Amino acid sequence: MSGGHRGGWFTSTRSSGVGSCVEVRFGAGLVFVRDSKDERDSRPVIGVPPGGWVSFLDSVRR
């Protein structure tokens, strides 16, 4: 994930910039994921351990 970023949040380089992607941020021993089209500060954020994130990405790539 080396696309655009805002405040430490990253989107995929394959994201078209129309708000139909997820944003990811690394920190505090967790990987945080949120919906890119929801601009509110109170938007829902999911935090998963790094191993869980790697497993998720491996599953998506198959």
Q: What is the pLDDT of residue 5?
A: 53
In this prediction, residue 33 carries a pLDDT of 92
**pLDDT less than 70: residues of the chain:** 1-7, 17, 19, 38-41
Distance CA 52, CA 9 (A): 18
- Do 34 and 45 meet the contact criterion of CB atoms below 8 Å apart? yes
Predicted local distance difference test score (pLDDT) of residue 1: 44
CA 31/CA 33 separation, integer angstroms = 7
The full DSSP string for the chain is --S-EETTEE--TT--SSS-SEEEEEETTEEEEEETT---TT---EEE-HHHHHHHHHHHH-
Read off the pTM: 0.73
